[in-house]
Amino acid sequence: MSYAKVLCVGLVGVAGHVVEVEADLAPGLPALFISGLPDTALHEARDRVRAAVVNSGQRWPNRRITLNLLPATMPKFGSAFDLAIAVALLGGSGELPLLALDRVVVLGELGLDGTVRPVRGVLPMVAAAARAGLERVIVPADNAAEAAVVPGIRVRAVDTLHRLVEFVRDGTPLIEPPAPVPSDGPDGPDLADVAGQALGRRALEVAAAGGHHLALFGPPGAGKTMLAERLPSILPELDDEAALEVTALHSIAGLLPAGGQLLRRPPFQAPHHTATVASLVGGGSGLARPGAVSLAHRGVLFLDEAPEFGRGSLEALRQPLEHGRVLLARSRGGTEYPARTQLVLAANPCPCAKPAGDIYCECSPLARRRYLGRLSGPLLDRIDVQVTLPPLRAAELMEATMAEEPSAAVATRVAAARRAGAERWAGTGCRVNAEVPGPRLRRPPWRLPERDTRELRGRLDSGSLSARGFDRIIRMAWTVADLDGRDRPHSDDVREAIQLRTGDAA
Ligand SMILES: [Zn+2]
């Protein structure tokens, strides 16, 4: 026997595809060739695999070896193919009968000493194997908990190539995955901790209910960051499909917490303003790492001190926010990751970040305008809710001895409002009000009667409001109505929406 085949899984974006690793051994000068669109990490596999095989006490076949990864048209990234390559090679050389690996997916990177190392993206790989109807998978021991999250497939783990060889040869049992950890870890921060800030709390609730992007302006200490961090706590939990997708992205980034569990809470990402473009949108060699905008998929992306982000960074985020996905250019075709995230940005009113009216602030009006102007074009245009938070006064802090409403209570209203919106837009492809195109809201049956939009039209005519701003306010008015349990917005809802857009108390 000089031919053998072992199953593995390759990732294209978050989607896994079953890959056949074929090994063919022919007489001739000893050599090893790999074909089937491998990347450099995979080319280096030949050195890792050779050392691992020899150091595991196996004989290296001194023949002309050809490895082929099928389907050949699919680009392959990373080192998860090592283990499958090693056993295919030993199978092909006649050293190892591979009956025990029939229809079994084998994943893992090899160390030179024959240890099996964890790989990124195990969860979407195992999910792909299950979807392809395969029933058994062997993964690195350090990835076992994560792999065991996927339903409908039997997971076993290995820590060394030697252990896998013993299993294949003699049926020596493999490592069982640990029992899954039931919860999502400790609860995140709660709105009950936020003193005062009625306007900020309402803005957060409206943003959550309608899926609107949110901008919080105000002096340091006004509670912008505290509010932003609590947005996930009032958003609905992720459903099965979303949870699997979000967990897969974190798996590919190598950021899943140990223990193995589906991420059920909407993720929160807060990249620093010095973060590189690659860490914001994704990149890196081999299997591309998702950036913050994808790790915040179905959750919240928070840009604190947003004007401090470089123009290039803000520009790079524009496309993903608009399309809900990121396309990363690779040498052999692009990699696409989802990036449907809710943006929250916070900004101080001026570059020196002293409290408003502070006698030490010497920023000129021009400097202030310029500072916030950095946000205009690329991002601010797509943000519905924009409020300026007042500095927190002592009175508010004192009143805070009274209990503030906790996140759970707000989350109940948000969930009800989201249900109302989802029912209204069912069949249109929109799930939340923020996704509804302006023209649809301006046409019957959704057009609001003139008496409710009089003030808004006045602002449009006088030029103090753009057409786009008009649509955004109407959209928020629907969310306000949904939150208050009305089936259509009336003039009070429009007035509150104006306030949430312009900061004016109309
Ligand atoms: Zn200043």
Q: What is residue 505's predicted lDDT score, i.e. its pLDDT?
A: 43
Quote the ligand 1 centre to 413 CA distance (angstroms): 38
Nearest 5°: phi and psi at 330? -120, 165
pTM above 0.85, yes or no: yes
* Residues 347, 351, 356, 358, CA torsion sign: positive
Torsion, Cα 215 219 220 226, to 10 degrees, reads -40
Q: Number of C-alpha atoms within 13 angstroms, CB side, residue 391? A: 11
Q: Note the pLDDT of residue 371.
A: 85
The answer to whether the Cα torsion of 24, 26, 31, 33 is positive or negative is negative
Residues 6+ apart with CB under 8 A from 478: 210, 421, 433, 436, 441, 489, 493
**Residue 402, pLDDT score:** 66
Structure tokens at 185: 């870890």
CB atoms closer than 10 angstroms to residue 466? 12
- The strand pairing partners of 219, in sequence order, are none
**Distance of CA 316 from the midpoint of ligand 1 (Å):** 28
**β-pair partners for 490:** none
CA of 351 to the centre of ligand 1 (A): 6
Ligand 1 centroid, distance to 212 Cα (angstroms):
29
* Ligand 1 center from residue 373 Cα (angstroms): 15
CA of 348 to the centre of ligand 1 (A): 9
Q: Strand 385-388 relative to strand 214-217: parallel, antiparallel, unpaired?
A: parallel
Compute the distance from residue 370 Cα to the ligand 1 centre, in Å: 12
Cα 362 to ligand 1 centre (Å): 5
Integer angstrom CA distances of residue 262 from 92, 107, 224? 38, 20, 29
Q: How far is CA 449 from CA 253, 456, 494, 498, in A?
A: 49, 12, 11, 17
Ligand 1 centroid–CA 353 distance in Å is 6
CA-nearest of 130, 211, 219, 253 to 384 is 211
Nearest-angstrom CA–CA distance, 358 and 221? 13
**CA separation for the pair 119, 403 (Å, rounded):** 47
C-alpha 257 – ligand 1 centre gap (Å): 41
Can you tell me the distance from the alpha carbon of 314 to that of 46, in angstroms, rounded to the nearest whole number?
A: 41
Q: How remote is the C-alpha of 196 from its chain's centroid?
A: 32
- Identify the three-state secondary structure at position 140: strand
Q: Which residues contact 134 (CB under 8 A, 6 or more apart)?
A: 7, 18, 103, 104, 105, 153
Rounded to the nearest whole angstrom, what is the distance from the C-alpha of residue 368 to the centroid of ligand 1?
7
Any long-range contacts for 448-452 (C-beta under 8 Å, 24+ apart)?
A: 448/474, 448/477, 448/488, 448/489, 448/494, 451/491, 452/489, 452/490, 452/491, 452/494
Q: What is residue 80's predicted lDDT score, i.e. its pLDDT?
A: 94
Tens of pLDDT along the chain (506 residues) come to 599 999 999 998 999 999 999 999 999 898 888 888 777 777 788 889 999 999 999 999 999 999 999 998 888 888 899 999 999 999 999 989 999 999 999 999 999 999 999 999 999 999 999 999 999 999 999 999 999 999 899 999 999 999 999 999 999 999 999 887 765 566 789 999 888 888 999 999 999 999 999 999 988 888 999 999 999 999 999 998 899 999 999 999 999 887 778 899 999 999 999 999 999 999 987 789 999 999 999 999 999 999 999 888 988 998 898 889 999 987 667 789 999 999 999 998 888 877 655 667 778 888 888 888 888 766 787 899 999 888 877 666 666 556 789 999 999 999 999 999 999 999 998 999 999 999 999 999 999 998 888 988 998 899 888 888 899 999 999 999 999 999 999 999 999 999 998 765 43
Q: Report residues near ion ligand 1: CB below 5 Å.
A: 350, 352, 361, 363
Distances in Å between the alpha carbon of 25 and those of 51, 66, 95, 227? 18, 6, 12, 63
| Beta bridge partner(s), residue 335 | 328
Q: How far is the CA of 358 from the centre of ligand 1 (A)?
A: 8
Q: Which residue matches tokens 């309608």? A: 210
Nearest residue to 337 via CA among 282, 397, 257, 381: 282
CA 322 to chain centre: 15
pLDDT value, residue 506: 37
506 Cα–ligand 1 center, Å = 28
Please say whether the beta carbons of 210 and 479 come within 8 A: yes
Q: How far is the CA of 221 from the centre of ligand 1 (A)?
A: 15
352 CA → ligand 1 middle, Å: 4
Structure tokens at 230: 């609590």
Residue 216 is inside which H or E element, if any? strand 214-217
